[in-house]
Amino acid sequence: MKPYTKRAILFLLLIVLLLAACGGGAGETQPIAVERPRDESNQAPITSYEPTDDGDTEVSTSENTLTEQIYEEVEVEAEESLDAASEAAPSGYMEPLPPVATAAPDIVIVPGPAATPSAMFFEEYGVNPYILTDVDNLSTFSLDVDTGSYSIARRYLQDGLMPPPESVRVEEFVNSFDQGYQIPPNTAFAVYADGAPSPFHTDGTYFLRIGVQGYESSEEVRPSANLVFVIDVSGSMAQENRLELVKQSLEILVDRMRADDTIAIVVYGSDARVVLPPTNGSDQRTIMRAINSLETEGSTNLEAGLLLGYQMANQAYKFDGINRVILASDGVANVGNTSADGIAAQIRGYADAGIQLTTIGFGLGNYNDVMMEQLADQGDGNYGYIDTLEEAETLFVDNIMSTLQVIGLDAKIQVEFDRNVVQQYRLIGYENRAIADEDFRNDTIDAAEFGAGHTAVAIYAVQLVPGAQGRIATVNLRWQDPDTRVVKEINGVFTTENLARSFDDAPLHYQLAVVVSQYAELLRDSYWVEGFNMRDLQIRAERLASQMNDEAIWELASLISYSR
Protein backbone atom coordinates (compact mmCIF):
# COMPACT_ATOMS: atom_id res chain seq x y z
CA MET A 1 0.00 0.00 0.00
CA LYS A 2 1.32 3.42 -0.92
CA PRO A 3 2.33 5.75 1.96
CA TYR A 4 -0.14 8.51 1.00
CA THR A 5 -2.96 5.92 0.89
CA LYS A 6 -2.11 4.83 4.43
CA ARG A 7 -2.05 8.47 5.57
CA ALA A 8 -5.47 9.08 4.00
CA ILE A 9 -6.97 6.05 5.73
CA LEU A 10 -5.44 7.05 9.07
CA PHE A 11 -6.79 10.59 8.62
CA LEU A 12 -10.31 9.28 7.98
CA LEU A 13 -10.10 6.95 10.96
CA LEU A 14 -9.00 9.89 13.12
CA ILE A 15 -12.07 11.90 12.04
CA VAL A 16 -14.37 8.97 12.84
CA LEU A 17 -12.65 8.56 16.23
CA LEU A 18 -13.13 12.23 17.09
CA LEU A 19 -16.78 12.18 16.06
CA ALA A 20 -17.44 9.08 18.14
CA ALA A 21 -15.68 10.55 21.16
CA CYS A 22 -17.79 13.69 21.20
CA GLY A 23 -21.13 12.02 20.53
CA GLY A 24 -21.54 13.50 17.09
CA GLY A 25 -20.11 16.96 17.79
CA ALA A 26 -22.12 19.95 16.63
CA GLY A 27 -23.48 18.11 13.61
CA GLU A 28 -27.09 17.43 12.79
CA THR A 29 -29.17 15.22 15.05
CA GLN A 30 -30.27 11.97 13.41
CA PRO A 31 -33.74 10.47 13.94
CA ILE A 32 -34.22 7.66 16.46
CA ALA A 33 -37.51 6.58 14.84
CA VAL A 34 -39.41 7.18 11.63
CA GLU A 35 -42.77 6.08 10.33
CA ARG A 36 -43.09 3.38 7.68
CA PRO A 37 -42.28 5.06 4.33
CA ARG A 38 -45.33 6.26 2.40
CA ASP A 39 -43.55 4.89 -0.68
CA GLU A 40 -42.97 1.26 0.29
CA SER A 41 -40.13 0.98 -2.22
CA ASN A 42 -38.02 3.26 -0.03
CA GLN A 43 -36.38 1.86 3.07
CA ALA A 44 -36.24 3.54 6.46
CA PRO A 45 -34.34 2.53 9.62
CA ILE A 46 -37.21 0.57 11.15
CA THR A 47 -36.69 -2.92 12.53
CA SER A 48 -40.24 -4.17 12.92
CA TYR A 49 -43.97 -3.53 12.87
CA GLU A 50 -46.09 -5.27 15.44
CA PRO A 51 -49.89 -5.13 15.79
CA THR A 52 -51.18 -4.22 19.22
CA ASP A 53 -54.32 -5.28 21.02
CA ASP A 54 -56.41 -2.57 19.40
CA GLY A 55 -56.13 -4.34 16.07
CA ASP A 56 -55.79 -1.44 13.65
CA THR A 57 -52.67 0.11 15.14
CA GLU A 58 -49.34 0.02 13.37
CA VAL A 59 -46.28 -0.01 15.62
CA SER A 60 -42.68 0.34 14.55
CA THR A 61 -39.50 0.23 16.58
CA SER A 62 -36.10 1.63 15.78
CA GLU A 63 -32.75 1.40 17.55
CA ASN A 64 -30.70 4.57 17.72
CA THR A 65 -27.37 4.14 15.99
CA LEU A 66 -26.21 7.74 16.20
CA THR A 67 -22.74 7.02 17.52
CA GLU A 68 -20.98 3.68 17.30
CA GLN A 69 -17.92 3.43 19.52
CA ILE A 70 -15.33 2.04 17.14
CA TYR A 71 -12.26 1.91 19.32
CA GLU A 72 -11.89 0.46 22.79
CA GLU A 73 -9.99 3.58 23.89
CA VAL A 74 -13.00 5.72 23.06
CA GLU A 75 -15.31 3.46 25.07
CA VAL A 76 -13.02 3.74 28.09
CA GLU A 77 -12.91 7.54 27.79
CA ALA A 78 -16.69 7.76 27.51
CA GLU A 79 -17.19 5.58 30.60
CA GLU A 80 -14.70 7.65 32.60
CA SER A 81 -16.40 10.88 31.51
CA LEU A 82 -19.87 9.62 32.46
CA ASP A 83 -18.66 8.26 35.79
CA ALA A 84 -17.08 11.62 36.63
CA ALA A 85 -20.22 13.52 35.72
CA SER A 86 -22.53 11.16 37.58
CA GLU A 87 -20.53 11.36 40.83
CA ALA A 88 -22.07 14.79 41.35
CA ALA A 89 -25.60 13.48 40.88
CA PRO A 90 -27.64 13.02 44.06
CA SER A 91 -28.32 9.47 45.22
CA GLY A 92 -31.83 10.14 46.51
CA TYR A 93 -34.42 12.87 46.60
CA MET A 94 -33.34 16.39 45.80
CA GLU A 95 -34.12 19.16 48.27
CA PRO A 96 -37.85 19.37 49.06
CA LEU A 97 -39.91 20.08 45.98
CA PRO A 98 -41.89 23.30 45.75
CA PRO A 99 -45.64 23.05 46.21
CA VAL A 100 -47.49 21.86 43.12
CA ALA A 101 -51.03 23.06 42.56
CA THR A 102 -53.56 20.24 42.57
CA ALA A 103 -56.70 22.31 42.14
CA ALA A 104 -57.91 23.77 38.86
CA PRO A 105 -55.63 26.64 37.76
CA ASP A 106 -56.78 30.16 38.47
CA ILE A 107 -57.32 32.90 35.95
CA VAL A 108 -54.80 35.67 36.57
CA ILE A 109 -55.63 39.22 35.49
CA VAL A 110 -52.53 41.30 34.85
CA PRO A 111 -52.57 45.06 34.24
CA GLY A 112 -51.78 45.75 30.61
CA PRO A 113 -49.59 48.52 29.18
CA ALA A 114 -52.36 50.43 27.43
CA ALA A 115 -53.10 53.93 28.60
CA THR A 116 -56.79 53.17 29.20
CA PRO A 117 -57.91 50.80 31.98
CA SER A 118 -57.47 47.32 30.55
CA ALA A 119 -56.31 43.84 31.42
CA MET A 120 -54.42 40.87 30.06
CA PHE A 121 -55.93 37.48 30.85
CA PHE A 122 -53.56 34.55 31.43
CA GLU A 123 -53.86 31.22 33.21
CA GLU A 124 -51.49 29.85 35.82
CA TYR A 125 -50.62 26.18 35.15
CA GLY A 126 -47.83 25.71 37.71
CA VAL A 127 -44.36 24.26 37.07
CA ASN A 128 -43.60 20.56 36.67
CA PRO A 129 -41.58 19.01 39.53
CA TYR A 130 -38.85 16.39 39.39
CA ILE A 131 -40.26 12.86 39.47
CA LEU A 132 -38.36 9.81 40.73
CA THR A 133 -38.43 7.00 38.18
CA ASP A 134 -39.01 4.54 41.02
CA VAL A 135 -42.32 6.32 41.55
CA ASP A 136 -43.31 6.94 37.91
CA ASN A 137 -41.02 6.32 34.94
CA LEU A 138 -43.58 7.36 32.28
CA SER A 139 -44.05 10.91 31.00
CA THR A 140 -47.06 11.40 28.69
CA PHE A 141 -48.31 14.55 27.00
CA SER A 142 -50.03 15.95 23.93
CA LEU A 143 -47.79 17.58 21.35
CA ASP A 144 -47.94 21.37 21.03
CA VAL A 145 -46.88 23.46 18.03
CA ASP A 146 -48.20 26.82 19.29
CA THR A 147 -45.90 29.85 19.40
CA GLY A 148 -48.15 32.58 20.83
CA SER A 149 -46.55 32.77 24.28
CA TYR A 150 -43.13 33.73 22.92
CA SER A 151 -44.55 36.41 20.61
CA ILE A 152 -46.49 37.95 23.50
CA ALA A 153 -43.39 38.02 25.71
CA ARG A 154 -41.41 39.65 22.90
CA ARG A 155 -44.06 42.35 22.56
CA TYR A 156 -43.97 43.06 26.31
CA LEU A 157 -40.18 43.33 26.37
CA GLN A 158 -40.03 45.53 23.30
CA ASP A 159 -42.52 47.83 25.04
CA GLY A 160 -40.18 48.04 28.03
CA LEU A 161 -42.25 45.72 30.25
CA MET A 162 -41.56 42.34 31.80
CA PRO A 163 -44.05 39.67 30.65
CA PRO A 164 -46.20 38.27 33.46
CA PRO A 165 -44.87 34.88 34.63
CA GLU A 166 -48.33 33.41 33.99
CA SER A 167 -48.03 34.26 30.29
CA VAL A 168 -44.94 32.07 29.76
CA ARG A 169 -45.39 28.57 28.35
CA VAL A 170 -41.95 27.04 27.85
CA GLU A 171 -42.85 24.77 24.95
CA GLU A 172 -44.17 27.71 22.92
CA PHE A 173 -40.88 29.55 23.42
CA VAL A 174 -38.87 26.57 22.21
CA ASN A 175 -41.18 25.85 19.28
CA SER A 176 -40.71 29.41 18.03
CA PHE A 177 -37.21 28.52 16.82
CA ASP A 178 -35.91 26.30 14.05
CA GLN A 179 -34.72 22.97 15.48
CA GLY A 180 -32.50 22.04 12.56
CA TYR A 181 -34.17 18.67 11.97
CA GLN A 182 -34.09 17.10 8.53
CA ILE A 183 -37.50 16.74 6.92
CA PRO A 184 -38.33 13.00 6.93
CA PRO A 185 -38.44 11.61 3.37
CA ASN A 186 -41.49 9.58 2.36
CA THR A 187 -42.75 9.29 5.95
CA ALA A 188 -45.18 11.33 8.01
CA PHE A 189 -43.01 11.68 11.11
CA ALA A 190 -39.50 11.31 12.43
CA VAL A 191 -38.61 11.32 16.14
CA TYR A 192 -35.32 12.87 17.24
CA ALA A 193 -33.43 12.87 20.54
CA ASP A 194 -30.18 14.35 21.79
CA GLY A 195 -28.71 15.39 25.12
CA ALA A 196 -25.73 16.84 26.97
CA PRO A 197 -24.64 17.91 30.45
CA SER A 198 -26.18 21.17 31.65
CA PRO A 199 -23.79 24.14 31.50
CA PHE A 200 -25.80 25.85 34.26
CA HIS A 201 -25.80 23.13 36.95
CA THR A 202 -23.17 21.32 39.00
CA ASP A 203 -25.40 18.53 40.31
CA GLY A 204 -25.11 16.12 37.38
CA THR A 205 -28.12 17.46 35.45
CA TYR A 206 -28.44 16.61 31.77
CA PHE A 207 -30.84 18.23 29.33
CA LEU A 208 -32.57 16.01 26.78
CA ARG A 209 -34.27 17.38 23.66
CA ILE A 210 -37.05 15.17 22.29
CA GLY A 211 -38.32 16.36 18.92
CA VAL A 212 -40.95 15.36 16.37
CA GLN A 213 -40.66 16.56 12.78
CA GLY A 214 -43.46 16.23 10.24
CA TYR A 215 -42.95 15.97 6.52
CA GLU A 216 -43.49 19.00 4.30
CA SER A 217 -46.19 19.38 1.68
CA SER A 218 -45.72 21.89 -1.12
CA GLU A 219 -48.52 24.29 -1.94
CA GLU A 220 -48.68 22.89 -5.47
CA VAL A 221 -49.63 19.39 -4.36
CA ARG A 222 -51.63 20.10 -1.21
CA PRO A 223 -55.41 19.50 -1.33
CA SER A 224 -57.61 22.49 -2.11
CA ALA A 225 -58.55 24.60 0.89
CA ASN A 226 -61.82 25.90 2.28
CA LEU A 227 -60.86 28.80 4.55
CA VAL A 228 -63.28 30.90 6.59
CA PHE A 229 -61.88 33.94 8.37
CA VAL A 230 -63.75 35.05 11.48
CA ILE A 231 -62.64 38.61 12.19
CA ASP A 232 -63.24 40.63 15.32
CA VAL A 233 -64.34 44.15 14.30
CA SER A 234 -65.47 45.26 17.76
CA GLY A 235 -64.43 48.60 19.21
CA SER A 236 -61.40 47.12 21.01
CA MET A 237 -59.88 46.22 17.63
CA ALA A 238 -59.48 49.94 16.90
CA GLN A 239 -56.71 50.12 19.52
CA GLU A 240 -53.15 50.04 18.18
CA ASN A 241 -54.56 49.73 14.64
CA ARG A 242 -55.25 46.04 15.35
CA LEU A 243 -57.87 45.72 12.61
CA GLU A 244 -55.55 47.41 10.11
CA LEU A 245 -52.87 44.82 10.89
CA VAL A 246 -55.47 42.07 10.39
CA LYS A 247 -56.32 43.52 6.97
CA GLN A 248 -52.66 43.75 5.97
CA SER A 249 -52.14 40.15 7.11
CA LEU A 250 -55.08 38.95 5.01
CA GLU A 251 -53.66 40.71 1.96
CA ILE A 252 -50.49 38.66 2.35
CA LEU A 253 -52.54 35.47 2.42
CA VAL A 254 -54.67 36.33 -0.60
CA ASP A 255 -51.58 36.41 -2.79
CA ARG A 256 -50.98 32.75 -1.92
CA MET A 257 -54.47 31.45 -2.69
CA ARG A 258 -54.96 28.99 -5.55
CA ALA A 259 -57.87 29.05 -8.00
CA ASP A 260 -59.31 25.86 -6.46
CA ASP A 261 -59.23 27.35 -2.93
CA THR A 262 -62.17 29.21 -1.46
CA ILE A 263 -62.11 31.99 1.10
CA ALA A 264 -65.01 33.42 3.11
CA ILE A 265 -65.08 36.21 5.68
CA VAL A 266 -67.34 36.51 8.73
CA VAL A 267 -67.12 39.55 11.01
CA TYR A 268 -68.54 40.09 14.47
CA GLY A 269 -69.10 43.07 16.73
CA SER A 270 -72.37 43.21 18.61
CA ASP A 271 -73.59 40.49 16.25
CA ALA A 272 -72.17 38.43 13.39
CA ARG A 273 -72.63 38.64 9.63
CA VAL A 274 -71.12 37.36 6.40
CA VAL A 275 -69.00 39.92 4.54
CA LEU A 276 -67.71 37.54 1.88
CA PRO A 277 -69.41 34.25 0.94
CA PRO A 278 -67.12 31.40 -0.21
CA THR A 279 -65.18 32.88 -3.14
CA ASN A 280 -62.62 31.29 -5.45
CA GLY A 281 -59.05 32.19 -4.62
CA SER A 282 -58.53 33.47 -8.18
CA ASP A 283 -61.09 36.26 -7.63
CA GLN A 284 -58.66 38.47 -5.77
CA ARG A 285 -60.46 41.71 -6.65
CA THR A 286 -63.66 40.62 -4.88
CA ILE A 287 -61.73 39.29 -1.90
CA MET A 288 -59.69 42.49 -1.54
CA ARG A 289 -62.81 44.65 -1.80
CA ALA A 290 -64.31 42.75 1.13
CA ILE A 291 -61.11 43.08 3.18
CA ASN A 292 -60.81 46.80 2.57
CA SER A 293 -64.42 47.34 3.66
CA LEU A 294 -63.79 46.15 7.20
CA GLU A 295 -64.31 48.77 9.94
CA THR A 296 -64.62 48.56 13.72
CA GLU A 297 -68.07 48.56 15.27
CA GLY A 298 -70.02 47.63 18.40
CA SER A 299 -69.38 45.20 21.23
CA THR A 300 -67.77 41.75 21.08
CA ASN A 301 -69.97 38.73 20.40
CA LEU A 302 -67.21 36.19 19.78
CA GLU A 303 -69.58 33.27 20.22
CA ALA A 304 -71.88 34.40 17.41
CA GLY A 305 -69.00 35.13 15.06
CA LEU A 306 -67.27 31.82 15.60
CA LEU A 307 -70.44 29.75 15.24
CA LEU A 308 -71.39 31.55 12.03
CA GLY A 309 -67.89 30.94 10.73
CA TYR A 310 -68.16 27.23 11.41
CA GLN A 311 -71.55 27.11 9.71
CA MET A 312 -70.03 28.72 6.61
CA ALA A 313 -67.12 26.26 6.65
CA ASN A 314 -69.49 23.35 7.02
CA GLN A 315 -71.67 24.47 4.10
CA ALA A 316 -68.60 24.88 1.86
CA TYR A 317 -66.96 21.68 3.18
CA LYS A 318 -64.44 20.13 0.79
CA PHE A 319 -64.33 16.36 0.92
CA ASP A 320 -60.71 15.21 0.57
CA GLY A 321 -59.76 18.87 1.06
CA ILE A 322 -58.62 21.20 3.82
CA ASN A 323 -61.33 22.82 5.93
CA ARG A 324 -60.29 25.44 8.44
CA VAL A 325 -61.70 28.37 10.38
CA ILE A 326 -59.18 31.12 11.20
CA LEU A 327 -60.09 33.43 14.07
CA ALA A 328 -58.40 36.87 14.16
CA SER A 329 -59.16 38.61 17.45
CA ASP A 330 -57.88 40.01 20.73
CA GLY A 331 -59.80 37.22 22.44
CA VAL A 332 -62.12 39.53 24.33
CA ALA A 333 -65.80 38.51 24.56
CA ASN A 334 -68.46 40.59 26.33
CA VAL A 335 -71.71 39.61 24.59
CA GLY A 336 -73.33 36.17 24.54
CA ASN A 337 -71.32 33.27 25.96
CA THR A 338 -68.09 34.85 27.20
CA SER A 339 -66.27 31.87 28.77
CA ALA A 340 -63.53 29.95 26.97
CA ASP A 341 -64.93 26.60 28.17
CA GLY A 342 -68.46 27.47 27.07
CA ILE A 343 -67.49 28.52 23.56
CA ALA A 344 -64.99 25.68 23.20
CA ALA A 345 -67.69 23.14 24.03
CA GLN A 346 -69.76 24.39 21.10
CA ILE A 347 -66.97 23.98 18.52
CA ARG A 348 -65.81 20.53 19.61
CA GLY A 349 -68.30 18.78 17.33
CA TYR A 350 -67.07 20.70 14.28
CA ALA A 351 -63.49 19.72 15.10
CA ASP A 352 -64.49 16.06 15.35
CA ALA A 353 -66.19 16.43 11.95
CA GLY A 354 -62.98 17.56 10.27
CA ILE A 355 -63.00 21.37 10.50
CA GLN A 356 -59.90 22.67 12.30
CA LEU A 357 -59.44 26.04 13.98
CA THR A 358 -56.45 28.37 13.94
CA THR A 359 -56.54 31.29 16.36
CA ILE A 360 -54.37 34.36 15.77
CA GLY A 361 -54.14 37.01 18.44
CA PHE A 362 -53.74 40.74 17.90
CA GLY A 363 -53.09 43.55 20.36
CA LEU A 364 -51.73 44.04 23.86
CA GLY A 365 -53.25 45.79 26.83
CA ASN A 366 -56.71 44.32 26.43
CA TYR A 367 -56.14 40.75 25.39
CA ASN A 368 -57.40 37.31 26.43
CA ASP A 369 -54.65 34.74 25.95
CA VAL A 370 -56.70 32.10 27.78
CA MET A 371 -59.53 32.32 25.25
CA MET A 372 -57.29 32.13 22.19
CA GLU A 373 -55.14 29.27 23.47
CA GLN A 374 -58.01 27.11 24.70
CA LEU A 375 -60.12 27.62 21.58
CA ALA A 376 -57.21 26.48 19.41
CA ASP A 377 -56.71 23.47 21.67
CA GLN A 378 -60.36 22.41 21.55
CA GLY A 379 -60.58 23.21 17.84
CA ASP A 380 -57.74 20.78 16.98
CA GLY A 381 -55.66 23.66 15.73
CA ASN A 382 -52.83 25.97 16.63
CA TYR A 383 -52.41 29.38 18.23
CA GLY A 384 -50.20 32.25 17.10
CA TYR A 385 -49.86 35.92 17.91
CA ILE A 386 -49.19 38.82 15.52
CA ASP A 387 -47.86 42.22 16.52
CA THR A 388 -45.90 43.17 13.39
CA LEU A 389 -46.28 42.73 9.64
CA GLU A 390 -43.15 40.57 9.68
CA GLU A 391 -44.79 38.21 12.14
CA ALA A 392 -47.89 38.20 9.92
CA GLU A 393 -45.77 37.02 7.01
CA THR A 394 -44.35 34.22 9.14
CA LEU A 395 -47.72 33.03 10.39
CA PHE A 396 -49.88 33.58 7.31
CA VAL A 397 -47.36 32.38 4.75
CA ASP A 398 -44.98 29.94 6.43
CA ASN A 399 -47.27 28.58 9.14
CA ILE A 400 -50.68 28.59 7.47
CA MET A 401 -50.53 28.30 3.70
CA SER A 402 -47.58 25.90 3.76
CA THR A 403 -48.90 23.84 6.72
CA LEU A 404 -52.63 23.76 6.10
CA GLN A 405 -52.51 20.04 5.47
CA VAL A 406 -53.00 17.99 8.64
CA ILE A 407 -50.79 14.90 8.74
CA GLY A 408 -51.57 13.65 12.23
CA LEU A 409 -54.55 13.80 14.61
CA ASP A 410 -54.46 13.24 18.38
CA ALA A 411 -50.66 13.17 18.35
CA LYS A 412 -49.15 12.35 21.73
CA ILE A 413 -45.80 11.36 23.19
CA GLN A 414 -44.89 8.91 25.93
CA VAL A 415 -41.31 8.81 27.19
CA GLU A 416 -40.42 5.70 29.18
CA PHE A 417 -37.33 6.27 31.33
CA ASP A 418 -35.16 3.32 32.33
CA ARG A 419 -35.17 3.09 36.13
CA ASN A 420 -31.72 1.49 36.10
CA VAL A 421 -30.19 4.50 34.34
CA VAL A 422 -32.33 7.54 35.14
CA GLN A 423 -32.85 8.49 38.77
CA GLN A 424 -35.28 11.37 38.26
CA TYR A 425 -36.57 13.58 35.46
CA ARG A 426 -38.52 16.78 34.90
CA LEU A 427 -40.49 17.76 31.80
CA ILE A 428 -39.87 21.48 31.28
CA GLY A 429 -43.16 22.95 30.10
CA TYR A 430 -46.29 21.22 28.72
CA GLU A 431 -48.01 21.69 32.09
CA ASN A 432 -51.41 22.12 30.42
CA ARG A 433 -50.82 19.31 27.91
CA ALA A 434 -50.38 16.43 30.34
CA ILE A 435 -52.13 13.14 29.60
CA ALA A 436 -52.57 10.27 32.07
CA ASP A 437 -50.00 7.56 31.39
CA GLU A 438 -52.70 4.92 31.05
CA ASP A 439 -54.43 7.01 28.36
CA PHE A 440 -51.52 7.00 25.92
CA ARG A 441 -53.16 4.20 23.91
CA ASN A 442 -56.69 5.32 24.67
CA ASP A 443 -57.63 6.71 21.28
CA THR A 444 -60.78 8.40 22.55
CA ILE A 445 -58.61 10.95 24.37
CA ASP A 446 -58.28 14.19 22.45
CA ALA A 447 -54.73 15.35 21.72
CA ALA A 448 -52.95 17.62 19.25
CA GLU A 449 -53.34 18.21 15.55
CA PHE A 450 -50.05 18.12 13.64
CA GLY A 451 -49.63 19.95 10.34
CA ALA A 452 -47.25 19.29 7.46
CA GLY A 453 -43.81 20.72 8.18
CA HIS A 454 -44.57 21.34 11.85
CA THR A 455 -41.99 20.69 14.57
CA ALA A 456 -42.68 20.02 18.25
CA VAL A 457 -39.98 19.81 20.91
CA ALA A 458 -39.89 18.90 24.59
CA ILE A 459 -36.95 19.55 26.92
CA TYR A 460 -36.29 17.26 29.89
CA ALA A 461 -33.92 17.74 32.79
CA VAL A 462 -32.68 14.35 33.98
CA GLN A 463 -30.29 13.06 36.60
CA LEU A 464 -28.70 9.67 36.08
CA VAL A 465 -28.00 6.83 38.46
CA PRO A 466 -24.30 7.21 39.37
CA GLY A 467 -22.17 5.10 37.04
CA ALA A 468 -25.13 3.78 35.06
CA GLN A 469 -24.79 3.00 31.36
CA GLY A 470 -27.30 1.99 28.71
CA ARG A 471 -30.83 2.96 27.71
CA ILE A 472 -31.95 6.33 29.02
CA ALA A 473 -35.41 6.30 27.50
CA THR A 474 -37.70 4.89 24.85
CA VAL A 475 -39.67 7.59 23.04
CA ASN A 476 -43.11 6.57 21.76
CA LEU A 477 -45.14 8.66 19.30
CA ARG A 478 -48.78 7.79 18.60
CA TRP A 479 -51.21 9.51 16.21
CA GLN A 480 -54.16 8.93 13.92
CA ASP A 481 -53.80 9.18 10.16
CA PRO A 482 -56.27 11.90 9.08
CA ASP A 483 -57.08 10.14 5.80
CA THR A 484 -57.40 6.48 6.77
CA ARG A 485 -58.18 7.01 10.49
CA VAL A 486 -55.73 4.21 11.24
CA VAL A 487 -53.84 4.72 14.50
CA LYS A 488 -50.08 4.48 14.15
CA GLU A 489 -47.25 4.28 16.62
CA ILE A 490 -43.46 4.43 16.32
CA ASN A 491 -40.72 4.42 18.91
CA GLY A 492 -36.98 4.82 19.25
CA VAL A 493 -34.33 4.35 21.92
CA PHE A 494 -31.91 6.93 23.33
CA THR A 495 -28.88 5.73 25.32
CA THR A 496 -25.99 7.12 27.34
CA GLU A 497 -23.75 6.54 24.31
CA ASN A 498 -25.78 9.15 22.46
CA LEU A 499 -25.11 11.90 25.01
CA ALA A 500 -22.67 14.60 23.95
CA ARG A 501 -19.66 14.71 26.26
CA SER A 502 -20.16 18.42 26.91
CA PHE A 503 -22.75 21.08 26.17
CA ASP A 504 -20.47 22.76 23.63
CA ASP A 505 -20.04 19.45 21.78
CA ALA A 506 -23.80 19.11 21.27
CA PRO A 507 -25.53 20.28 18.05
CA LEU A 508 -26.01 24.04 17.91
CA HIS A 509 -29.78 23.74 17.51
CA TYR A 510 -29.87 21.60 20.65
CA GLN A 511 -27.92 24.27 22.54
CA LEU A 512 -30.35 26.91 21.31
CA ALA A 513 -33.40 24.92 22.45
CA VAL A 514 -31.93 24.52 25.95
CA VAL A 515 -31.04 28.22 26.22
CA VAL A 516 -34.55 29.21 25.11
CA SER A 517 -36.16 26.80 27.58
CA GLN A 518 -34.10 28.18 30.46
CA TYR A 519 -34.90 31.75 29.41
CA ALA A 520 -38.60 30.89 29.66
CA GLU A 521 -37.96 29.28 33.05
CA LEU A 522 -36.34 32.46 34.34
CA LEU A 523 -39.16 34.63 32.99
CA ARG A 524 -41.77 32.53 34.77
CA ASP A 525 -39.80 32.54 38.05
CA SER A 526 -39.36 28.78 38.05
CA TYR A 527 -38.06 27.23 41.25
CA TRP A 528 -35.58 25.18 39.23
CA VAL A 529 -33.37 27.94 37.80
CA GLU A 530 -31.74 29.13 40.99
CA GLY A 531 -27.98 29.39 40.58
CA PHE A 532 -27.78 31.13 37.21
CA ASN A 533 -29.16 34.29 35.68
CA MET A 534 -29.99 36.20 32.52
CA ARG A 535 -26.36 37.17 31.99
CA ASP A 536 -25.39 33.50 31.70
CA LEU A 537 -28.08 33.01 29.05
CA GLN A 538 -27.21 36.20 27.19
CA ILE A 539 -23.61 35.04 26.77
CA ARG A 540 -24.80 31.71 25.36
CA ALA A 541 -27.40 33.32 23.09
CA GLU A 542 -24.94 35.84 21.63
CA ARG A 543 -22.43 33.05 20.95
CA LEU A 544 -25.07 30.96 19.19
CA ALA A 545 -26.30 33.94 17.16
CA SER A 546 -22.76 34.51 15.93
CA GLN A 547 -22.14 30.84 15.18
CA MET A 548 -25.49 30.27 13.43
CA ASN A 549 -25.79 33.74 11.84
CA ASP A 550 -29.51 33.80 12.55
CA GLU A 551 -31.44 37.05 12.92
CA ALA A 552 -34.05 35.40 15.16
CA ILE A 553 -31.32 34.37 17.62
CA TRP A 554 -29.84 37.87 17.66
CA GLU A 555 -33.31 39.09 18.53
CA LEU A 556 -33.47 36.50 21.33
CA ALA A 557 -30.15 37.76 22.71
CA SER A 558 -31.54 41.31 22.68
CA LEU A 559 -34.68 40.21 24.52
CA ILE A 560 -32.58 38.49 27.16
CA SER A 561 -30.61 41.71 27.62
CA TYR A 562 -33.89 43.60 28.11
CA SER A 563 -34.84 41.08 30.80
CA ARG A 564 -31.77 41.60 32.98
Residue 244 located in a structural domain: yes
Instruction: Tell me the per-residue pLDDT of 154-198, one tens digit each, with 9 for 90 and over.
Output: 999 988 999 999 999 999 999 999 999 998 877 889 999 999 999
Q: How many domains does the chain have?
A: 3
Residue 77 confidence (pLDDT): 37
How far is it, in rounded angstroms, from Cα 455 to Cα 389? Answer: 23
Q: Are residues 414 and 505 in the same domain?
A: yes
Residues 422 and 484 in one domain: yes
Among 273, 269, 266, 265, smallest CA distance to 238 is for 269
- Identify whether residues 256 and 399 lie together within a single domain: yes
Clarify whether residues 339 and 482 are in a common domain.
no
Asked whether the predicted pLDDT for residue 20 surpasses 70, the reply is: no
Instruction: Summarize pLDDT for 118-143 with one digit per residue, the tens.
Output: 578 899 999 999 999 999 999 999 98
Supply the angle between the helices 508-523 and 551-563 in degrees, to the nearest 10.
Answer: 30
547: left (phi over 0), alpha (psi -120 to 50) or beta: alpha
Q: Are residues 438 and 449 in the same domain?
A: yes
Percent of all residues in the chain with a pLDDT value above 90, rounded to a whole number: 55
Q: Are residues 469 and 543 in the same domain?
A: no
Average pLDDT of the chain is 81
In a domain, 283, yes or no: yes
What integer pLDDT is reported at residue 401 of this predicted model?
A: 58
Give the highest mean pLDDT range of 141-145, 181-185, 260-264, 393-397: 260-264
Question: Would you say residue 363 lies in a domain?
Answer: yes
Would you state the pLDDT for residue 341? 87
Q: 10 Å Cβ neighbour count for 98?
A: 11
If asked whether residues 308 and 361 sit together in one domain, one would say: yes
Q: 484 pLDDT band (50/70/90 cuts)?
A: confident
- Among 322, 321, 320, 524, which Cα is nearest to 428's? 524
Cβ atoms of 491 and 412 closer than 8 Å = no
Residues 393 and 411 in one domain: no
Residues 270-289: what's their mean pLDDT? 94
Write b or e for each residue in 261-279: b if 16 or more Cβ atoms lie within 10 A of its Cβ, otherwise e: bbbbbbbbbbebebbbebb
Looking at residue 383, which CATH number applies to its domain? 3.40.50.410
Burial 330-345 (b: 16+ CB within 10 A, else e): bbbbebbbbebeebbe
Residue 119 Ramachandran class (φ > 0 left, ψ -120 to 50 alpha, else beta): beta
pLDDT at 59: 58
CATH number at residue 493: 2.60.40.1230
Mind spelling out the 3-state secondary structure of 337-367? CCCHHHHHHHHHHHHHCCCEEEEEEECCCCE
Q: How confident is the model at residue 335 (pLDDT cuts 50, 70, 90)?
A: confident
430: left (phi over 0), alpha (psi -120 to 50) or beta: left
Question: How do strand 487-495 and strand 471-480 relate by DSSP bridges?
Answer: antiparallel
Residue 57 shares a structural domain with residue 190 = yes
User: Is 33 within the bounds of a domain?
Assistant: no
Verify that 482 and 542 share a domain, yes or no.
Answer: no
- Least confident span in 39-48, 99-108, 427-436: 39-48
Residue type, 352: D
User: Who has greater pLDDT, 56 or 81?
Assistant: 56
The residue ranking higher by pLDDT, 405 or 115, is 405
Q: What pLDDT does residue 43 have?
A: 27
For 446-468, write each residue's pLDDT tens digit: 888 888 888 999 999 999 999 99
Q: Average pLDDT, stretch 368-374?
A: 92
Do 503 and 456 lie in one domain? The reply is yes
Is 104 a domain residue? yes
Domain span at residue 383 reads 225-322+329-404
- 415 found inside a domain: yes
| Predicted confidence (pLDDT) per residue in 49-76, tens digit | 233 444 455 555 544 433 322 223 333 3
The model's pLDDT over 488-547, given as tens digits with 9 standing for 90+, comes to: 999 999 999 999 999 999 999 999 999 999 999 999 999 999 888 999 999 999 999 999
Q: Which residue spans within 251-381 are E strands per DSSP?
A: 262-268, 272-280, 322-329, 356-362, 367-368
Alpha-carbon distance 366 to 116, whole Å?
9
196 and 343 co-located in one domain: no
